[in-house]
């Protein structure tokens, strides 16, 4: 039987820049939760940053978000599994809110609205379109702090072992059995990677992903999802 708490699972790979702020924000949250960081072979200071924090459990798994998040889910003890990107900040009170929802059996999964850090209007536009898409489709992306009850996650087989769009593929299965809730205020993702890649290029990528998921276009090439650190 699952403990009455949340398991926050953070996949990491070369995240020394953004991870400290994410952990500070996370551990400032009240609530009943555990934190599991699953590293995919970082050679920077990521593991060092995590290991000095005694409230984290640190695991290793083959690189890839699906592989790493599934490894964390196997070790999780919580009723809720919350998958948090290493560059994303939860809104105040998010975990207390999830703790209170544990007894609401009609709620089986969900995520948060999304916004990027900074004030660039192009980034605000991307977040607006992403939130509009999610409100209509209920397909929750990984950077929206997706959460799902542990038993349901296991029943659905976890994230499919694929190199890209594992969050979309999982959600496509998820919405067949439940309607995920969408919570606000939004999570805030560090815009650094989008800016480094180029905002318009990132914007085009978001639009192509939307077209892919909404209209079943062919799978996008992996080079389209190159690592930006």
Q: What are the DSSP calls for 105-117, one per residue?
A: TT--EEEEEEEES
Q: How many domains does the chain have?
A: 1
Is 217 among the domain residues? no
In a domain, 33, yes or no: yes
* 73 lies in some domain: yes
Residue 174 lies in a domain: yes
Domain range for 100: 3-118+139-191
Q: What are the pLDDT digits (tens) for 90-117?
A: 999 999 999 999 999 999 999 999 999 9
157: in domain: yes
Q: Which among 166, 175, 223, 171 is positioned nearest to 197, based on CA atoms?
A: 223
- Asked whether residue 224 is domain-assigned, the answer is no
Given a contact cutoff of 8 angstroms between Cβ atoms, the answer to whether 35 and 61 are in contact is no
Q: Are strands 3-12 and 78-83 parallel, antiparallel or unpaired?
A: parallel
Query: Residue 128 falls within a domain, yes or no?
Result: no
Residue 158 lies in a domain: yes
Residues 173-203: tens digit of each pLDDT: 999 999 999 999 999 999 887 777 777 776 7
Give the whole-number percent of the chain exceeding pLDDT 70.
88
For residue 187, give the nearest of 18, 5, 13 by alpha carbon: 18
Let me know: does 40 contact 62? Beta carbons within 8 Å.
yes
Q: Could you identify the residue written with the tokens 């409230």?
A: 55
Q: Which CATH number is 58's domain given?
A: 3.90.550.10
Distance, in Å, from the CA atom of 101 to the CA atom of 106, rounded to the nearest integer, reads 9
Tell me how far CA of residue 179 lies from CA of 11, 138, 171, 175, in angstroms: 25, 7, 10, 6
Length of the chain: 229
């Amino acid at each position: 039987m699952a403990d009455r708490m949340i398991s926050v699972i953070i996949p990491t790979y070369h995240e020394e820049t953004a991870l400290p702020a994410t952990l500070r924000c996370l551990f400032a949250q009240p609530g009943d939760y555990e934190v599991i960081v699953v590293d995919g072979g970082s050679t920077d200071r990521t593991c060092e940053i995590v290991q000095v924090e005694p409230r984290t459990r640190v695991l290793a798994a083959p690189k890839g978000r699906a592989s790493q998040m599934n490894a964390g889910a196997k070790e999780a003890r919580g009723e809720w599994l919350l998958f948090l990107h290493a560059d994303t900040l939860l809104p105040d009170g998010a975990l207390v809110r999830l703790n209170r929802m544990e007894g609401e059996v009609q709620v089986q999964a969900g995520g948060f609205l999304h916004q990027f850090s900074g004030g660039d209007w192009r980034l605000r536009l991307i977040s607006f379109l992403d939130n509009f898409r999610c409100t209509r489709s209920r397909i929750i992306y990984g950077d929206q702090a997706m959460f799902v009850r542990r038993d349901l996650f296991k029943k659905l087989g976890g994230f499919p072992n694929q190199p890209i769009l594992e969050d979309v593929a999982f959600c496509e299965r998820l919405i067949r059995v439940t309607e995920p809730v969408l919570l606000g205020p939004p999570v805030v993702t560090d815009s650094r990677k989008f800016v480094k890649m180029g905002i318009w290029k990132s914007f085009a990528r978001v639009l192509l992903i939307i077209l892919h998921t909404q209209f079943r276009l062919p799978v996008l090439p992996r080079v389209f999802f190159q690592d930006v650190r």
